[in-house]
Amino acid sequence: MDYQRIARITGWLWIITFVTSIPARFVFYGPVLEDGKDYILGDGSDAMTLIAFGAVLELILIIANIGTAVLPYSIHKRQSEPGALAFVTARVMECVYIAVGILFMLAISTLRQDAPSGADPALGQGFEAVYEWAFRLGPGFFVGVGNGLILGWLMYTSELVPRGLSIFGLIGGPLIIIAGVLVMFDVIEGSGPIQGLMTIPEAFWELSLGFYLAFKGFRSDSPVLAGVGSPATATV
C-alpha cells in the first residue's frame, strides 16, 4: 500500500473542497442569496448560467468530500474501524444536505426561467430558505461532527499528522456544532459574524490538513503505518 500517495491525493481533495465550495456559495449563488424573494421574477438569461456553474462546483465538492473519507479509510480503520466508518458516514450525510441545497438552487433557476406572470415572489424566498437550512445542517453542523470531532480524534490518536494540528479539529468541531445549535434556536444569526468567528478553527484545521497531506503526506513514524508498505521516500 502506497500510503504516502493516498495521503497526497487526500490532501489535494481537501484543497478542492475549498476551491469549489467558496465560489459556489459566495459568487455564483450570491445574487440569489441577496435577493431570493424577488429573484424568480427577474430576467432569467444570466441567472441560470450562474446557478448552473455553482451547482457543478458543488457536485465536484460532493465527490471531493466523499473522497477525503473513502480514500484513506483503509488507513484510518487501522486506528479505529468504527471511527473510520463514522467519518465516512458523517461525510456522506454532509453531502446529502449539500445535494438538497443544489436541488433547490436549480429549482429557483427553473422558476426564474419559466415562472408565469404574477407568480408569488415568496416562493423564491421559500426555496432560498430551504437551501440556507440545508447549508446550516450540512456544512454548518455535520462538518463539526465528522471533520472536526471524528477526524480530529482519528488524526490525534493515530499521529498521522502532528498532534498540534489535530487539536484544531478537536476544538473547531464542537464550536461548529454549538454555533449550529445556536442558529437553530435563533440565538445568533445564521452566516453572521459570530458564527463566522466560530468556524475559523475548523476552517484552519481542514485547510491546513489539506496542505500538510498534499505536500508532506502522513507522518511515517505513525504507529498505524507500521508494516504498511515501504515508500521510497519517508515523510515526517
- The answer as to whether 227 is a domain residue is no
Nearest to 77 by CA among 225, 235, 231: 225
pLDDT tens per residue across span 60-99: 999 999 999 999 999 999 999 999 999 999 999 999 999 9
pLDDT for the residue 115: 60
- The answer as to whether 232 is a domain residue is no
Percent above pLDDT 90 for the chain = 75
Per-residue pLDDT averaged across 25-29, rounded? Answer: 91
Residue the block writes with cell 511515517: 220
pLDDT tens per residue across span 107-137: 888 877 766 555 566 777 888 889 999 999 9
- The answer as to whether 146 is a domain residue is yes
- The answer as to whether 26 is a domain residue is yes
pLDDT tens per residue across span 167-194: 999 999 999 999 999 999 999 998 899 9
Tell me the H-state helices in the chain.
Answer: 3-23, 30-34, 36-39, 45-70, 73-79, 81-114, 122-137, 143, 151-158, 163-184, 193-198, 200-215
Domains of the chain: total: 1
- The answer as to whether 234 is a domain residue is no
- The answer as to whether 194 is a domain residue is yes
The domain containing residue 47 runs over which residues? 3-221
Which is more confident, 122 or 41? 122
